[in-house]
């Protein structure tokens, strides 16, 4: 059984603590955990710390099953821009073959074909990454991550450049894949409706600290929207019984953008 | 809407990949053949021109050709022809990996000031007789050039490791070094005697005529050490082209790979320049030609860069002997003069194709 638990995790850049004291309950395989919070809250840094790309205090507890995996943790960065002259297919081979021989076997090619087919990307497999739209590059990045067959997948805003259909497609695909593969998936998201619809858990990060972590419907509340996002909103149930956020508007405090101040500079 | 069915499309991904890999293998094989031909022409060209068939006989059955011809081909022309190939290969590989690890297509031993540093080191010896390491006086010029070039390369490397330093800053540092060393070189030229000035000018133009078997062997050794290590890291180096974060997420130890690569690149750039002088163009353009031909998968890009650089300099060696009958023009000058139109034609051809 795959599981992940963070204990007092921190990240420090120079003299600044960008993440500190993050401890979570056990996050189990088969579940999606949305990592939410305002911009620059430290979500990406937290992911990099979990993936071992940056150093910092704290302990990451992995279950024995996760530890035994060849690529236990895989981080999917937010930035997918590249000028590399590599096709989508080659970039997925690259992700699969790190540290191994030059030869790509027929079996490995079959696996890559299957991943690209599952993500409905075969039509762009032969195109160079530099020629793709932002959304297509995000899909290529997801294929690169999935081909490594991680036990714990950290996805940093993986749907930010995708159209609505693809966003829903990717999130429902990840939810089902997580269940079938017993994979623990952490997804940084800004769309709270997606979090409510597809994620079992939510972790809220503000100013580098985790202020809440638990079942999605317990955490995403009217109070959270007001306190964390400074937004007046309600959580309502639609006729299908699904919860969704209805936004009334921003709270007009000193931090809200001001057209009057802008007009003053004319 | 796609005309192929889903099942057809599944096959297409790997089929396309296999076809592309085969095409790239053929390109690498083609470049190897062109290199062999260019080397044979280089050996055949000189004050006494030999037919290609005689050159091939001298190469493969040395006893079947006259003694004089054997001496000319093996003892006089072979070190120069081999030096052209190895220096071209070394500089192009150095440029390719600099461009890879710095994620900048402008990076090369020439544009980052390594050649300029070597020129200054050589001029120190030629003008002032200053030896950075006094123990090896007979190798004062190449040793000075090597040490200055190595110093410049390492300075770039350590600067690039500082926090907050972007690749643009590194290229700017390289350009600043070019100006600094060129200014210092100009100062030495201003102070130099007429004889020393001529020697410095000749050195900075780049020349293969002083190639010896020892110089060939030392330069080849640098290539033989560096290339297998690059080959071993082919996947990791290719992954760096997707960005540090992505490469790290694939399990690449980015800093370690970058440090090792920069040290090897320093060797590859510094040794040839210290022996043959400033040959700028090949380190910048060789990798670009390779990239246009085979893309950036290092399994193809590395051999293609090696071969593109080797072919460029070998062909230039032939031209340097044939453009003005009876004279050998400096190879550094010819490389740029002939290489620029060729490179532009390749850029426009690629643009039309895409």
The CA-to-CA distance between both ends of chain B, in Å, stands at: 22
Specify the higher pLDDT residue, B343 or A173.
A173
Confidence (pLDDT) at B353: 61
Phi-psi bin for A42: left (phi > 0), alpha (psi -120 to 50), beta? left
Confidence (pLDDT) at B26: 98
Following DSSP, what letter does each residue of A132-180 receive, concatenated?
A: S-HHHHHHHHHHHHHHT--SEEEEESTTTTS-HHHHHHHHHHHHHHHHH
User: Do B93 and B107 touch, CB atoms closer than 8 A?
Assistant: no
Calpha distance A248→A232 (Å, rounded):
5
**Which chain B positions have a beta carbon within 8 Å of A94's beta carbon?**
235, 238-239, 242, 250, 297
Confidence (pLDDT) at B2: 39
B151-179 burial, b at 16+ Cβ within 10 Å, e below that, comes to: bbbebbbeebeeeeeeeeebbebbeebbe
In angstroms, what CA-CA distances link B100 with A116, A151, B298?
27, 31, 10
Whether residues B243 and A77 touch (CB distance < 8 A) is answered with yes
Q: Which of A14, A109, A123 sits opposite B17 (nearest CB)?
A: A109
Report pLDDT digits (tens) over B257-269. Answer: 988 898 898 889 8
Percentage of chain B lying above the pLDDT 90 cut:
49
| Domain annotation for chain A: domains and CATH numbers | 1-72+150-220 (3.40.50.300), 82-146 (no CATH), 228-266 (no CATH)
User: Of the ranges B5-14, B203-212, B217-226, which one carries the lowest mean pLDDT score?
Assistant: B5-14
Whether residues B17 and A74 touch (CB distance < 8 A) is answered with no
Whether residues B297 and A90 touch (CB distance < 8 A) is answered with yes
User: Do B75 and B270 touch, CB atoms closer than 8 A?
Assistant: no
**Which chain A positions have a beta carbon within 8 Å of B252's beta carbon?**
98
Q: Which of A220, A111, A118 is nearest to A174 (CA)?
A: A118
pLDDT higher than 90, residue A126:
yes
Q: Which of A175, A16, A20 is nearest to A6 (CA)?
A: A20
Whether A57 contacts chain B with CB within 8 A:
no
B227: closest CA of chain A, how far (Å): 15
Q: Identify the closest residue of chain A to B163 by CA–CA distance.
A: A14
User: Do B309 and B94 touch, CB atoms closer than 8 A?
Assistant: no
pLDDT higher than 50, residue B5:
no
A82: closest CA of chain B, how far (Å): 6
DSSP state of B139: G
Confidence (pLDDT) at B21: 95
A23: closest CA of chain B, how far (Å): 23
User: Do B123 and B188 touch, CB atoms closer than 8 A?
Assistant: yes
Q: If contacts are CB pairs under 8 Å, which of residues 123-142 in chain A contact chain B?
A: 123, 125-126, 128-129, 141
What's the complex ipTM? 0.90
pLDDT higher than 90, residue A62:
yes
In angstroms, what CA-CA distances link B354 with A132, A135, B139, B348, B349?
14, 22, 50, 10, 9
Mean pLDDT along residues B95-99: 95
Q: Which of A83, A102, A122 sits opposite B9 (nearest CB)?
A: A122
Q: Identify the closest residue of chain B to A131 by CA–CA distance.
A: B354
Top residue of B250, B253, B293 to mutate, by most chain A CBs within 10 Å, is B250
Q: Beta-carbon neighbour count of residue A64 at 10 Å?
A: 9
Whether B176 contacts chain A with CB within 8 A:
no
Specify the higher pLDDT residue, A99 or A163.
A163
Top residue of B8, B9, B14, B301 to mutate, by most chain A CBs within 10 Å, is B14
pLDDT higher than 70, residue A79:
yes
Calpha distance B235→B229 (Å, rounded):
12
pLDDT higher than 80, residue B138:
no
Confidence (pLDDT) at B3: 41
**Which chain B positions have a beta carbon within 8 Å of A129's beta carbon?**
242
Whether residues A98 and B252 touch (CB distance < 8 A) is answered with yes
State the pTM of this model: 0.89
Specify the higher pLDDT residue, A202 or B167.
A202
Q: In what order do the strands lie in the sheet with A3-7?
A: A27-28, A3-7, A59-62
Q: If contacts are CB pairs under 8 Å, which of residues 91-120 in chain A contact chain B?
A: 91, 93-95, 97-100, 102, 109-110, 112-114, 116-117
pLDDT higher than 60, residue B165:
yes
Report pLDDT digits (tens) over A17-61. Answer: 999 999 999 999 999 999 999 999 999 999 999 999 999 999 999
Calpha distance A81→A141 (Å, rounded):
10
pLDDT higher than 70, residue B231:
yes
pLDDT higher than 80, residue B349:
no
């Amino acid at each position: 059984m795959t599981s992940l638990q963070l204990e007092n995790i921190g990240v420090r850049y120079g003299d600044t603590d960008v993440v500190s004291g993050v401890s979570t309950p056990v996050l189990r395989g088969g579940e999606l955990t949305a990592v939410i919070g305002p911009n620059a809250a430290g979500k990406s840094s937290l992911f990099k710390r979990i993936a071992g790309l940056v150093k910092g205090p704290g302990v990451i507890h992995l279950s024995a099953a996760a530890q035994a995996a060849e690529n236990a943790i895989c981080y999917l960065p937010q930035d997918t821009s590249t000028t590399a002259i590599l096709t989508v297919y080659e970039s997925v081979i690259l992700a699969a073959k790190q540290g191994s021989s030059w030869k790509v076997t027929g079996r490995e090619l079959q696996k890559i074909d299957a991943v690209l087919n599952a993500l409905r990307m075969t039509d762009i497999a032969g195109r160079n990454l530099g020629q793709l739209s932002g959304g297509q590059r995000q899909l290529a990045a997801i294929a690169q991550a999935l081909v490594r067959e991680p036990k714990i997948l950290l996805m940093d805003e993986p749907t930010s450049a995708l159209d609505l259909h693809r966003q829903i497609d990717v999130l429902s695909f990840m939810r089902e894949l997580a269940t079938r593969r017993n994979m623990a998936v952490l997804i940084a998201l800004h769309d709270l409706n997606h979090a409510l619809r597809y994620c079992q858990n939510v972790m809220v990060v503000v100013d580098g600290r985790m202020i809440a972590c638990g079942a999605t419907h317990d955490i995403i509340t009217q109070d959270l929207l007001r306190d964390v996002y400074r937004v007046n909103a309600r959580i309502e149930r639609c006729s299908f019984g699904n919860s969704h956020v209805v936004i009334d508007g921003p709270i007009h405090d000193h931090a809200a953008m001001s057209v009057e101040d802008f007009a003053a500079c004319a | 809407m796609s005309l192929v069915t889903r099942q057809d499309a599944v096959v297409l991904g790997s089929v396309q990949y296999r076809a592309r890999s085969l095409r790239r293998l053929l390109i690498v094989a083609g470049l190897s053949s062109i290199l062999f031909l260019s080397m044979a022409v280089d050996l055949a060209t000189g004050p006494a021109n030999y037919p290609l068939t005689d050159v091939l006989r001298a190469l493969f059955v040395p006893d079947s050709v006259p003694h004089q011809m054997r001496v000319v081909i093996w003892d006089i022309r072979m070190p120069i022809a081999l030096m052209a190939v190895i220096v071209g290969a070394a500089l192009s590989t150095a440029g390719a990996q600099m461009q890879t690890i710095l994620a900048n297509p402008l990076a090369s031993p020439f544009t980052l000031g390594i050649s300029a540093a070597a020129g200054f080191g050589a001029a120190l010896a030629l003008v002032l007789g200053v030896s950075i390491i006094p123990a090896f006086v007979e190798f004062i010029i190449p040793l000075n050039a090597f040490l200055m070039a190595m110093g410049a390369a390492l300075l770039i490397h350590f600067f690039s490791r500082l926090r907050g330093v972007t690749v643009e800053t590194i290229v700017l540092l390289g350009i600043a070094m070019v100006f600094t060393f060129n200014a210092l070189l100009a100062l030495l030229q201003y102070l130099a005697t007429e004889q020393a000035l001529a020697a410095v000018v000749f050195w900075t133009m780049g020349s293969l005529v002083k190639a010896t078997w020892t110089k060939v062997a030392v330069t080849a050794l640098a290539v033989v050490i560096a290339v297998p290590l690059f080959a071993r890291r082919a996947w990791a180096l290719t992954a760096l082209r997707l960005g540090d974060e992505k490469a790290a997420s694939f399990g690449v130890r980015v800093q370690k790979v970058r440090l090792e690569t920069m040290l090897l690149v320093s060797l590859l750039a510094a040794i040839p320049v210290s022996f043959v002088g400033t040959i700028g163009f090949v380190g910048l353009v060789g990798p670009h030609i390779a990239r246009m031909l085979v893309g950036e998968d290092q399994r193809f890009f590395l051999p293609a860069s090696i071969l593109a650089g080797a072919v460029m300099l070998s062909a230039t060696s032939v031209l340097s002997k044939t453009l003005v009958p009876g004279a050998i023009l400096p190879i550094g000058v010819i490389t740029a003069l002939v290489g620029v139109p060729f490179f532009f034609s390749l850029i426009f051809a690629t643009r039309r194709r895409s």
